[in-house]
Amino acid sequence: MIQLRFVKSESTFSYFEATRGYIEKHGNPLALYSDKASIFRVNNKNATKGDGHTQFGQAMHDLNIERSALTGRASRLRRS
């Protein structure tokens, strides 16, 4: 973990703030590894519009930051 913040609730805005703080200090990362929270994936299986990106996912795409979800095994190894 390079960027950590305590916030009242996990939200797209709080992820944008944390990511901005990281980028301002370190520059764009090559990749972002995350869990499968709704910030990172579209929850509506019947979605017919859009490209399958959430707002956060689209921003990472626009910044050329690869996103990958941690598997259960990787999460356990990282104790996350």
Domain parsing of the chain, residue ranges: 30-78
Q: Residue 26: its pLDDT value, please? A: 92
pLDDT at 78: 54
Angstrom CA distances, 26 to 19, 31, 69, 76, stand at 10, 13, 22, 27
What is the per-residue pLDDT across 8-65, written as a single tens digit (0 to 9) for each? 988 889 889 989 999 999 999 888 877 766 667 776 666 666 666 788 888 988 999 9
Work out the number of other CB atoms within 10 angstroms of the CB of residue 60. Answer: 22
Q: DSSP assignment of the chain, as one string?
A: -------SS--HHHHHHHHHHHHHHH---SEEEE-S-TTTS---TT--SS-S--HHHHHHHHTT-EEEEPPHHHHHHHT-
Q: What is the pLDDT of residue 25?
A: 92
Give the pLDDT confidence score for residue 32 in this predicted structure: 82
* Per-chain mean pLDDT for the chain: 77
